[in-house]
Structure 1
Amino acid sequence: MSMNTFLSKRDYIPLYILLAVVYLSGLWIPLMENDSAQHATMAMRMFLENDFLNIYKGGQDYLDKPHMHFWLAALSFKLFGISQWSYRIPALLFTLLGAYSTNRLAKEFYGYKASHIASLVFLSAQAIILSNHDVRTDAVLTGATIFGVWQLVLYVNHNKLINAVLGAIGVAIAFSCKGQLGVFVPAICILSYLAYNKKWKAIWSWKTIITILTFVLAIAPVLYAYYVQFDLHPEKIIQGQSNISGIRFILWDQSFNRLTASGFTETSPDYFFFFHTLLWAFLPWSVMVYLALFSRIKLFIVSKFKFQSGIEALTSIGVLAIMIVISFSKFKLPHYLNSLLPILSVLVAGYVISLYENNKLKTLKTVLNIQYFTLSLGCGFVLFIIFWSFPIPHFAFILCDLLLLIGLGYIIFSKTNSAKKMILISVYFMIVINFCLNTQFYPKILQYQAGNNAALLLEKEHINPKDVYRIEGDKNSWSLDFYTKQTTPKITINKIPKYLKKGQWLFVYEDQMKELKENKIQWSKEFMIDHYRITRLNLKFLNPNTRNANLEKAFLLQLK
């Protein structure tokens, strides 16, 4: 069967172009607090102080995550200047690498006909799109992980040293972003592949030694940076402890601390957390991925795990093993799943091709109808929220929305097979939804994040950011720091009369105003800014009639 009878260039090239528009539109959304703006500020400090060995969070030594994400962001600032879009460039580039690697891995497993399906599934997954504007370590981790897995599969299949070396570099970059999780995912995947295919001889080779040495050399810069910041300074107090070894932490303690929630607040005792999180994180492919997993596991059980040509265990048994292990962690967050999504994209692509080639028309039609229902619901909900919660968007955006919806209607009513239509409408729905979110929803809710809006106010009122201080305490405003291109200094309230001069400014939140009044701190000018923790949306905030009652206030105060 020719690929042209299933998904032709005329089908997938327009989808890639529209997905590119969605991803590019996300580059200019202001950074969200906490993590995205926080990480950007930490990378910005590296760049401004030309200090790439130490990581600080608000002036405090930062032990938790390795350096790679921060190094790449700082390098981007060096090349393009400090901006929200330059911070996101490394994430976008590694997502492109991830899409290409997903495409090639699908081709290796299931042939050319599955390749573009896999990369389209990956690029249209909700968590992947989200990770490119709410940028943390996950986009780089995901791209590096799937690149490493793809190259190591090529090494196992073709025994070429270059693939082994590139695979080791990919895994090393993943480790340098997130620690042991970056090694655990590729390792379990490759082990499951070796076990099912019985290709253990790939390990017993001098090339394996070169692979391990390459990995060690590639992680050496991160280990050295940890050594300089922590091992050379046993006097540093981190979470109440001294004599902290950075090297021991990243090679051992980090993963086990997360498994036991040692040093972290336990997030979820739910052992099925990742299994139901996958339902939204892998939209619009959630139903497909569970059907594919069930189908593959059933096949393995029926065949008693005997090897069958054209079948692989990496994308099913490997992924399930990882999900079961991380489900026992007491510290769980949704984005821990991100590095599994390209691997699951390959599984979905193989499953769709299998249904199509085996003429499973009933299953395909059922899944297509499920996609129609869930995606229409999602699209309708997003459009309703946008038009209900906020003033009507600019006419140009409304026109773009209409054009996209017309295109969607054309695909729905076109006469084509169910498998092809399912891929096209699923990707297209996510394009519509995320274009609306990136251009009309996120920019609106970010008008209620005080830090970035305070920075705009400083610029508008010609206030020097170096004259602005914050109150010492737990409350941070990473977006204020990033958009003023400095770490805003903190001061305790009792030191304000002694150290701050008349005409200087304080940026405070509503609950800090009471303390200022109690300490008889006076100011001559006051700007009030609406504030809401926008990464924790609720219906009362989204409802324009109840929003004001749920807003916190922040203030810029000029001292008398």
Structure 2
Amino acid sequence: MQTRPLYIRYLYAGLILAIYILGLLLPLFDNDSAHHALIGMHMHLTGDYVSLIDRGHDYLDKPHMLFWLSALGDYLLGIGTLSYKLPSLLLAIPGIYATYRLASRLYSARAGQHAVLILVSTQAYILAHNDVRMDALLLSFIITATWLLYEYTVTLKPRWLIAGTAVLALSFSTKGMSGAALPVIAIGSQLLYTRNWRFLFSFKWAWGIPLFFLFISPVLYCYYLQFDLHPEKVIRGMTRISGVAFILFHQNTERLAGVNWGSSGGNDPFLFFHSLLWALLPWCLLGYWAVFRRAGELVRRRFSKEDDGEILSWAAIVIMFCILTSSNFRLPHYLNILFPFFAILIAGELGKVRSGTRESRVLTGVQMFVAVVVLLLGLFINLYLFPVKAYAIVLLAIPALYLVVYEWRVTRGWPDRLIGISLSASIFVNVLMNGNFYYEIQRYQAGQHIAAKISDLGLDENNIYVMNWESPTLNYYSGYFYAEADSASLTARDDFWVVGPIDEIFALQKAGGLKAREAYHYLDFDTTKLRAGFINPETRRESCRNIGLVYLKRD
């Protein structure tokens, strides 16, 4: 980037910032993000920051950090999109900085700059800040803890150990032991590879163990209060559940074995390998190349000690891939925690390739091909499937398109041309995706629109019932947990509002001898699981469910 004119660098910075701001303002999706927001909202509304409650039921699966941050956001900003998503975006900044510092320490300052550009332009990393779950926070904490702890192994200064252990505890407090394991795996691999026996056998690092348990004690105590003190609670059909034992041990072993979680993705041993093809766009092929290139180097050297050699990022990727692939419960977004390590490894391996070689020419050609595919897909989605309607997004896309043209026509040199072509393609496409596509598909997410209509009409939430339909965004954007009811209980009522599938509301109206005084109709689709019928403009309406907000009254 330093070789480019100042105005080009400002354009890149401004457009990257615009992409993430557009993602920040995007309403929550009706899946895990809105579900997690409801748990934080319950904390905020009740003042109970100890218990994890999922719409009236005890929630065991994940620890408190994201929910505490969500509740804090609700308290400071009021219940809404920003209050849930802003903390995760702000806490991404330390992770980006840590990626730069770690890549700079392992390779060079230039590799650090490239690693940051690769990370922030990775497709699933951008998506993780649109559809905020645990992963955005977890990723940032993991790479920050890895950097801080690695600095301790190099400098032996206690402040790095204390800071690294504290962030490791934050990682645990976000998603359990899996969050704490990856930095330990990465650092441990580096120490073994460099034969740093003096550090390992000094056992000064052992002070980190009691520090870690001290820092995670608030989470453990909350689990103890909610579950260990109440063995009578029924969780997944079981009693006498120890929350402390679960979060320390059973959470991850159960997921690996598929016990109590099912076997999502368990029949596809290559799930993570092909998921990487879209998740790491536009750097996916470089990701495979970097892993195999580094593996070849290590095998040729028989893993012998290498002066200033780095195995940290490669080992983190390979070992976690093996662990995740061996699990019976697999979801594509589990890959997100590896993106900083991929960014560091790709940047480091690119720095080893000499300019003008056949390898550099092939890699540039590969990335030109990937960039063209990404650009064509982005244009097809945003011009035909979901045409851009907002002039502001068109205006924003113009400088992004200028960067694409600039990188193809002007930039030369290795690896600047490769980085620039890939980065500009990602920015142009994600200006359209974050500014248009995700907003367009949320037109078919009924929950948030019904919540807005309820607010506009000034309805009494106590007289609204949800029937045979689930929408976390309906509850979250209303700031209220609506009562759920079936048709049998509603037929006995004389005057009420009901939310649910239109055909079932009509059946309720007929069975109860009720009349519809007001009715509002919405199309609804699970926008996190896109299907061909929905994507096709010709069949989109037929793919949606018809959800209604209807006022029923008995004469």
Q: Place the TM-score, normalised by the shorter chain, in its bin.
A: over 0.9
Question: How far apart are residue 196 of structure 1 and its match?
Answer: 0.3
* Aligned counterparts of 2:211 and 2:159: Cα–Cα separation in 1: 11
* Aligned counterparts of 2:357 and 2:7: Cα–Cα separation in 1: 24
Q: Which residue in the other structure is 2:447 paired with?
A: 451
Q: Which amino acid aligns with 1:180?
A: M
Question: How far apart are residue 279 of structure 1 and its match?
Answer: 1.6
* Aligned counterparts of 2:330 and 2:426: Cα–Cα separation in 1: 26
* Aligned counterparts of 2:503 and 2:349: Cα–Cα separation in 1: 54
Give the conservation status (yes or no) of the 8 Å contact 1:469–1:491: yes
Q: Give runs of aligned pairs for residues 112-191 of structure 1, distance below 5 A.
A: 112-191=109-188
Q: Which residue in the other structure is 1:362 paired with?
A: 358
Give the conservation status (yes or no) of the 8 Å contact 2:224–2:244: yes
Structure 1, 308-317 or 389-398: larger mean CA deviation: 389-398
Over 3 Å counting, the alpha-carbon distance change for 1:200 and 1:76 in structure 2 is farther
Give the conservation status (yes or no) of the 8 Å contact 1:361–1:418: no
Q: Does 1:193 align with 2:178?
A: no
Question: How far apart are residue 505 of structure 1 and its match?
Answer: 0.9
SS in 2 for 1:436: helix
Over 3 Å counting, the alpha-carbon distance change for 1:255 and 1:111 in structure 2 is same
1:174-228 deviation line (CA, Å, top 9, x unaligned): 1111112102211211111111011133233463232112211111111111111
Q: Which runs of 5+ in 2 are unaligned?
A: none
Q: Which residue in the other structure is 1:481 paired with?
A: 475
* Aligned counterparts of 2:81 and 2:336: Cα–Cα separation in 1: 22
Q: Which residue in the other structure is 1:45 paired with?
A: 42
* Aligned counterparts of 2:92 and 2:522: Cα–Cα separation in 1: 35
2:544 to 536, 540, 551: 551
Question: How far apart are residue 318 of structure 1 and its match?
Answer: 3.0
1:316-338 deviation line (CA, Å, top 9, x unaligned): 12320111111110100111111
Q: Which amino acid aligns with 1:483?
A: Y
1:498-544 deviation line (CA, Å, top 9, x unaligned): 5x551x21111246437625743624232211111111112221222
* Aligned counterparts of 1:286 and 1:327: Cα–Cα separation in 2: 18
Normalising by the residue count of structure 1, what TM-score does the alignment of the two structures yield? 0.94
* Aligned counterparts of 2:508 and 2:4: Cα–Cα separation in 1: 65
Q: Give runs of aligned pairs for residues 392-541 of structure 1, distance below 5 A.
A: 392-471=388-467, 475-498=469-492, 500-502=493-495, 504-510=496-502, 512-513=504-505, 516=508, 519-520=511-512, 522-524=514-516, 525-541=518-534
* Aligned counterparts of 2:412 and 2:231: Cα–Cα separation in 1: 67
Q: Which amino acid aligns with 1:315?
A: S
Question: How far apart are residue 492 of structure 1 and its match?
Answer: 3.3
Question: How far apart are residue 395 of structure 1 and its match?
Answer: 2.3
Give the conservation status (yes or no) of the 8 Å contact 2:118–2:423: yes
Structure 1, 416-425 or 322-331: larger mean CA deviation: 416-425
Question: How far apart are residue 8 of structure 1 and its match?
Answer: 8.5
SS in 1 for 2:91: helix
Over 3 Å counting, the alpha-carbon distance change for 1:130 and 1:415 in structure 2 is closer
Question: How far apart are residue 14 of structure 1 and its match?
Answer: 4.0
Question: How far apart are residue 13 of structure 1 and its match?
Answer: 5.3
Give the conservation status (yes or no) of the 8 Å contact 1:238–1:244: yes
Q: Which amino acid aligns with 1:365?
A: R
Question: How far apart are residue 12 of structure 1 and its match?
Answer: 5.1
Q: Which residue in the other structure is 2:280 paired with?
A: 282
Over 3 Å counting, the alpha-carbon distance change for 1:415 and 1:257 in structure 2 is closer
Q: Give runs of aligned pairs for residues 378-397 of structure 1, distance below 5 A.
A: 378-397=374-393
* Aligned counterparts of 1:232 and 1:341: Cα–Cα separation in 2: 39
Q: Which amino acid aligns with 1:435?
A: V
Q: Which residue in the other structure is 2:27 paired with?
A: 30
* Aligned counterparts of 2:422 and 2:167: Cα–Cα separation in 1: 30
1:73 to 70, 75, 81: 70
1:255 to 238, 246, 252: 252
Cα RMSD for the two superposed structures: 1.9
SS in 2 for 1:132: helix
- Give aligned-pair identity as a percent: 33
* Aligned counterparts of 1:479 and 1:29: Cα–Cα separation in 2: 13
Q: Which amino acid aligns with 1:460?
A: D
* Aligned counterparts of 2:9 and 2:190: Cα–Cα separation in 1: 29
Q: Which amino acid aligns with 1:544?
A: P
Q: Which runs of 5+ in 1 are unaligned?
A: none
Q: Which amino acid aligns with 2:543?
A: N
Over 3 Å counting, the alpha-carbon distance change for 1:460 and 1:11 in structure 2 is same
Q: Which residue in the other structure is 1:350 paired with?
A: 348
1:327 to 321, 325, 328: 325
Give the conservation status (yes or no) of the 8 Å contact 1:506–1:558: yes
* Aligned counterparts of 1:403 and 1:392: Cα–Cα separation in 2: 16
Q: Give runs of aligned pairs for residues 170-319 of structure 1, distance below 5 A.
A: 170-205=167-202, 207-268=204-265, 269-319=267-317
Over 3 Å counting, the alpha-carbon distance change for 1:10 and 1:344 in structure 2 is farther
Normalising by the residue count of structure 2, what TM-score does the alignment of the two structures yield? 0.95
Aligned residues: 551
Over 3 Å counting, the alpha-carbon distance change for 1:468 and 1:327 in structure 2 is same
Question: How far apart are residue 373 of structure 1 and its match?
Answer: 1.8
* Aligned counterparts of 2:92 and 2:25: Cα–Cα separation in 1: 17
